[in-house]
Every structure is written in structure tokens, then in C-alpha cells.
Structure 1
Amino acid sequence: MQNKKVSFHYLDVKFFFKNRETVKQFILELFKREGKKVDTVNYIFCTDEYLIDLNMEYLNHDTYTDIITFFYSENDQPVLSDIYISIERVKENAVQFQTSIKNELLRVLFHGALHLCGYKDKKAEEEKLMREKEEYYLKLFNAKH
């Protein structure tokens, strides 16, 4: 059964992404475990250049980033969002953090979902909790798949 609530789109990049449907189903499980209902979450894979343009236009940040999450839902409505991910940044981060591209991509996918569940990462204690949640869901995903 194909998941219609979580979608993957490829703007200006092409890359092989194994087990997409399994990952989408797990992302829905993450939302369920965090007590969130989902309308639609679009993950949009793009280049660094595309993402830095979004970062400057919408957030006034002139820096590269691996992910930007746009949250459109009102209050307690089901999650409606677009999440942009730079594949170039994910690959660089995998090298920097000495992990596989697959693992880093999963971490970033879960990071975006966790933002939509209300987790933040601007302050040190928020970032610590975010990292703990990312690790929890990475381990859970890897144990199941």
C-alpha cells in the first residue's frame, strides 16, 4: 500500500534512495509515537544552491543548511508541511560526522519530522533533546529494518 501522507520529491537532484516506502511508513510511525496526526508532509530533495536561496528569501540566513522545514498547520490541526533537504549537504555531513549517507539522510528526515512535532534546536538543551530523539528513531528504524 502506497503512503499518500508522506511524499518524496526531487527538484534539481537525482539520487538512488532505497526502501522509500518503508522510510515513509516509519516517518508516519514517528508522528504517531509523538502524538501527531498527519495531513501531508512533502520532503523535497534539492541542491545546496536551491536551499540557500530559500534560506535567504524566507529566513534571511545567508548560510548553507541541510534542511528547512515549512510548517503550515494551524494549532492542533494535522501536520501539513514542506521539508526541503540538500542532498549535497547530507553527503558532506555524512563524511564530516563519519557516518553513512543513508544514516545521515535518515537522521535529517527524522529531524524535520521532529521539528513538526514541536522539538526545537536553537538552545543547547533543545539541541541535546533533538539529538537524543534523532538517535532514538535511528536506532528504532535500524532495529526494525
Structure 2
Amino acid sequence: MINFHVEDIDFRLQQKLKIKNWLKRIIEEEGFKAGDINYIFCSDDYLLKINIEYLDHDFLTDIITFDNSEEEERIEGDIFISIDRVKDNATAFQASFEHELKRVLAHGVLHLCGYMDKTDEEEKLMRAKENQYLQLFQ
């Protein structure tokens, strides 16, 4: 089950059901089943505290994904998304907020499916997957 939560900000996700179905489709196309997946929308400050406390990283980021999966074919996790970062990145990449938010939503679930983005090669594959699945959201 995919759930959406909000912490410390005023934010309302539009098209929840359509987004849930799209995320489930991504998961299924990657060969997995969706377990409990929680998206938590928050501020830069909230996500920075998590980044410092759990990852020992003292910098802003748009997303942090915690993989809670216990079965090979079922993915579960908590995905924290900074709405502040998504807004800034949308401006920087000359994209709409909605487009950038969808990219980050897909990015989080792709991490749970096993995709990484630490190396240039991994990042290139991650971007290709994001673009592939953004095309499915119609």
C-alpha cells in the first residue's frame, strides 16, 4: 500500500489516486510488488535533520529513501521528499513543479527497486528510468 504523509509544511498532493496507480505500475514493470511504501513530504529543515542524524550528511537534498524491504519481490520503505528542494530544482531545471515532483516520486521507488545513483553510470541509468516512467504518466 502506498501512503502519503505531510510533516511540518502545508502541502496537498494532487491526483493521489492517479499517482498511486502510476507508482504501482512502475513497481510492477520493474518486477516487484508494492508493500508498505510511505512518502513523507516535508521541508528542507526537516529533511536536513534526517540527513544529518541517519546518514551523517550535512547538506540539503530533495529525497532520502529508507529501504525496509524484507522479501525479495516485495518492496517497502519510507521516502522523504523536501518540497522546498523540489520547488528550487524545478526552477533550476526549467520544469514545472508537478513534473519535478513526479520525477522525485519515481526516483524514490526506483531506489527501492535497486537502482542507485552514486556513480555517473548509475545516475545515467536512473535518469533514463525516470524519463521512461514519466512518459507513462498521462
User: TM over 0.5: same fold?
Assistant: yes
Give yes or no for the alignment of 1:47 onto 2:47: no
Q: Give 1:117's aligned residue.
A: 113
Trace 1:23-62 onto structure 2 (pairs within 5 A): 23-62=19-58
Q: Give 1:131's aligned residue.
A: 127
Equivalences, count: 138
C-alpha distance after superposition, 1:22-75 (max 9, x if no partner): 001110010000001111100000000000000000100000000000001125
Give yes or no for the alignment of 1:11 onto 2:20: no
- Between the aligned partners of 1:87 and 1:27, the Cα distance in structure 2 is 18
Percent identity, aligned pairs only?
51
Q: Give 1:140's aligned residue.
A: 136
> RMSD of aligned C-alpha atoms?
1.0
- Between the aligned partners of 2:35 and 2:136, the Cα distance in structure 1 is 24
- Between the aligned partners of 1:11 and 1:94, the Cα distance in structure 2 is 21
- Between the aligned partners of 2:131 and 2:68, the Cα distance in structure 1 is 26
TM-score, scaled relative to structure 2: 0.97
Q: Give 1:71's aligned residue.
A: 67
Which deviates the most, 7-16 or 65-74? 7-16
| SS of residue in 1 equivalent to 2:94 | coil
1:16 Cα offset (Å):
3.6
Structure 2 unaligned blocks of 5 or more? none
| SS of residue in 2 equivalent to 1:62 | coil
Structure 1 unaligned blocks of 5 or more? none
**Partner AA of 1:104 in structure 2:** E
